[in-house]
Amino acid sequence: MSQILSKLQPARFPQTSQPPRLPAPSRRLGRPRLLIVGCGDVGTRCLRILSSRMRVFAVTSQPARRAELRAAGAVPLVADLDRPATLARLRGLATRVLDLAPPPGQGEGDPRTRALLAALRRTAWRRTAGRRARPAAGMLPGEPAILPDRTRPRAAFVYASTTGVYGDRQGARVAEFHPVRPQTARARRRVAAEQAVRGFGRDAGWRASVVRIPGIYAEDRLPLARLKRGTPALVPQDDVYTSHIHADDLARIMVAALFRGRPQRVVHASDDTELRMADYFDLVAERRGLPRPPRITRGEALQVIDKTLLSFMSESRRLDNRRLKRELRLRLRYPTVADFFG
């Protein structure tokens, strides 16, 4: 584990490093197993950190991605969170899980996360004086709750959520212990997933962590298309505070939570940036030689901005990231967006 955690230090894992060469198959058999669900951009960055030290299984619903994931160092598994029957092979496969899969695009709950948790359960009956203990109610109707297996090291599950669960706080600073106030169906689905994950951790004896993620950026994730289109931003009196994290730092946070996260704990994956949204766009525009976006009032935005985009311009909050620094003991490579641009 210490070898894995050492890779989280910026000097030991430079941004320009390539995925490490895989060890010979015979040397990988005794390695701890990791399951990555939702192995997209951030999941692949996690894979680069871990593949030389762990045997990584990556779940994809797209058979065409198998070669790509295999080349990155993972064992690809084709399964679909929307088809629970395809998840049966995940049971007992790994004792560490990173779940970066998004919830479905509609509804109030997250059946995908619930299906994954159900698939990970190992039905364990505890014998007491020759009798089987009756398990409590499970995550899904009709399924028993798993009883913790105390003979093994505690398994770890890290769920990638969103800071959108807090809703609009009118620019106030928010810590992990503050109550959630989801204002959109998208955020309510995330709250449902968080509750399922933390309940699973308590019932199953897993060390379940929830990482709440703000806006993710990287060189290939900057709002350049928006700036080129000239999409307006809000005037200062109507603008909102936004929070940010670089994709590389997010991957390192997810890995740190996997090994250092406290049971059933929430942590913010946020850097130290405190910018209003329009100021962020101005910074990107200046550093990439693009015109700054025009400013409009919120009333004008209601007439010309897409409803989904407008929802992100309607919630203002600043995130307290002291728990990230204190408990995960992680030094960010890019403490602010300005540090990324240099």
Give the residue-averaged pLDDT of 62-71. Answer: 96
Nearest to 260 by CA among 330, 163, 335: 330
The model's pLDDT over 253-274, given as tens digits with 9 standing for 90+, comes to 999 999 999 999 999 999 999 9
pLDDT at 142 over 50: no
pLDDT value of residue 42: 98
Contact 107, 76 (CB under 8 A): no
> Cα(173)–Cα(85) distance, rounded to whole angstroms?
43
Give the residue-averaged pLDDT of 162-172. Answer: 98
| Torsions phi, psi for 275 (to 5 deg) | -130, 145
- Name the band, by pLDDT with cuts 50, 70 and 90, for residue 9: low
The model's pLDDT over 24-45, given as tens digits with 9 standing for 90+, comes to 343 556 789 999 999 999 999 9
pLDDT value of residue 65: 96
Q: 141 vs 129, 136, 145, 296, CA distance in Å? A: 29, 11, 10, 50
Burial class (CB in 10 A: 0-12, 13-18, 19+), 132: exposed
pLDDT at 11 over 60: no
The model's pLDDT over 185-236, given as tens digits with 9 standing for 90+, comes to 999 999 999 999 999 999 999 999 999 999 999 999 999 999 999 999 999 9
Structural domains in the chain, sorted by start: 2-125+137-222+243-274+316-341 (3.40.50.720)
pLDDT value of residue 3: 58
For β-strands 127-128 and 131-132, DSSP reports them as antiparallel
Burial class (CB in 10 A: 0-12, 13-18, 19+), 68: middle
> Cα(293)–Cα(149) distance, rounded to whole angstroms?
56
- Average pLDDT of the chain is 87
- Name the band, by pLDDT with cuts 50, 70 and 90, for residue 146: very low
Prediction pTM value: 0.85
Task: Calculate the CA dihedral of residues 289, 295, 301, 303 and round it to 10 degrees.
Answer: -90
pLDDT value of residue 190: 99
pLDDT value of residue 217: 99
pLDDT value of residue 124: 36
Residue with tokens 């996360």: 113
Looking at per-residue confidence, does 135 or 162 come out higher?
162
Give the residue-averaged pLDDT of 233-248. Answer: 98
pLDDT at 14 over 50: no
> Cα(327)–Cα(335) distance, rounded to whole angstroms?
17
Contact 232, 294 (CB under 8 A): yes
- Which of 151-165, 271-285, 302-316 is modeled with the greatest confidence? 271-285
pLDDT value of residue 136: 35
pLDDT at 1 over 80: no
pLDDT at 106 over 70: yes
Percent of the chain with pLDDT over 70: 82
pLDDT value of residue 2: 54
The identity of residue 208, as a single letter, is A
The model's pLDDT over 268-306, given as tens digits with 9 standing for 90+, comes to 999 999 999 999 999 999 999 999 999 999 999 999 999
Looking at per-residue confidence, does 142 or 235 come out higher?
235
Contact 206, 269 (CB under 8 A): no
pLDDT at 247 over 90: yes
pLDDT value of residue 30: 76
